[in-house]
Amino acid sequence: MKNVVVCLMPGAKFDRATGGLFGAARRLDAPLTAVIPGPADDELVATIAQQADTVICADASELTAYQPELTLAVLQTVCEQLQPDIVLLSGDTYSQELTPRLAGRLGGSSIGDAQGLAIEGDHLRVTRSVYGGKAMAVVELRRSPAVVWVRARSFDPEPARETPGTVETRAVELSEAARRHVNATEIIERHVETTGDVRLEDATVIVSGGRGLGGPEPFEELKQLASTMGAQMAASRAACDAGWVPPHWQVGQTGKKVAPELYLAIALSGASQHLMGIADAKVITAINTDEDAPIFRHCQFGIVEDYRNIVGPLREKLASLLS
């Protein structure tokens, strides 16, 4: 393999997910270049330099915040210059949006939700879950470059390098074709939802509610429990689709993939699509009235009981222990 490129999004931070992304890249044992499109603060650049052989700050004057066409054009331009064999992106929404498009622009192949990476001969093999998390598949990407987004926190970070990599600021001049794509779109409005102090993907403890809660009001009680535990809130797709809780709480195949130390599932049956989103949780605990609920086949601890008889006393007990 000639080289591996890690592409970050504008405004990226070096959090646990980014650390795992670089951990995955470094385990491929190939020269590693990190590309930071748009402005980047000195602290982020210095941290990334402790992970990569080379850090390229792609200086595009228009790129001050994420804009899909412009970000894609900048990453395409830099990758065409570097000619990588493998391009890795994180599991955030922006990276998922750009991964197949970047592969198409570069004439390569793409895949997402990687949970394992290995080089076999001249090709990259990606391990990912299939059939709603019921099986694992190994997919070989034979068209170079292989462009892949990886599941958040599926890989452990690597220690900082003893010698930091070189840092280069590179002015990016877009081609006329790229410029036409950029000019064809316009951001009309940006809306940022408050998601809490910690991203759900980075949370170490999560309290999650499902359809069995019956409505939005019980989630207020779960919020009090989460606050006592120092946990983040989450929910099943059914609860989000019903409008009981915000969409960014959704965990599952079509939502967030999480890997907390503790995942507390309350009134949540545990459909295969939801289980796919919590497959990397260290400990799963469930409270459900249905003793045959699928969640009980995948949790380490479970209580067959009405959540209303458990949540209040549990919060009170935890509060007394922590006071």
Alpha helices (H) in 6-60, listed in sequence order: 16-26, 42-49
Kindly state the average pLDDT of the residues 265-284.
92
pLDDT, one tens digit per residue, over 11-25 is: 888 988 899 999 999
Q: What pLDDT, on the 0 to 100 scale, is given for residue 297?
A: 93
Q: What pLDDT, on the 0 to 100 scale, is given for residue 197?
A: 60
Choose the most confident range, by mean pLDDT, from 60-64, 137-141, 148-152, 169-173: 137-141
Q: What pLDDT, on the 0 to 100 scale, is given for residue 254?
A: 82
- 86 has pLDDT over 90: yes
Q: What pLDDT, on the 0 to 100 scale, is given for residue 1?
A: 57
Q: What pLDDT, on the 0 to 100 scale, is given for residue 150?
A: 93
Q: What pLDDT, on the 0 to 100 scale, is given for residue 60?
A: 78
Residue 136 tokens, joined: 């694992």
What is the SS3 assignment for 299?
A: coil
**E strands within 151-235?**
166-171, 205-209, 232-235
For residues 249 and 260, give the distance between their C-alpha atoms in angstroms, rounded to a whole number.
14
Kindly state the average pLDDT of the residues 263-279.
92
Mean pLDDT score of the chain, rounded to an integer?
91
Could you give the angle at the alpha carbon of 16 between the alpha carbons of 135 and 196, nearest 5°? 100
Q: What pLDDT, on the 0 to 100 scale, is given for residue 256?
A: 87
Min mean pLDDT across 36-40, 45-49, 147-151 is at 36-40
What strands, in cross-sheet order, belong to the sheet with 262-266?
232-235, 205-209, 262-266, 283-288, 301-304
Say how many Å lie between the first and final Cα of the chain, rounded. Answer: 55
Kindly state the average pLDDT of the residues 257-264.
92
Q: What pLDDT, on the 0 to 100 scale, is given for residue 193?
A: 65
Q: What pLDDT, on the 0 to 100 scale, is given for residue 142?
A: 94
Min mean pLDDT across 16-30, 100-114, 166-180, 182-196 is at 182-196
- Complete domains list, the chain, with CATH: 4-183 (3.40.50.620), 200-322 (3.40.50.1220)
pLDDT, one tens digit per residue, over 198-239 is: 778 888 999 999 999 999 999 999 999 999 999 999 999 999
Tokens 């894609």 -> residue: 72
- The pLDDT confidence band at residue 196, using thresholds 50, 70 and 90, is low
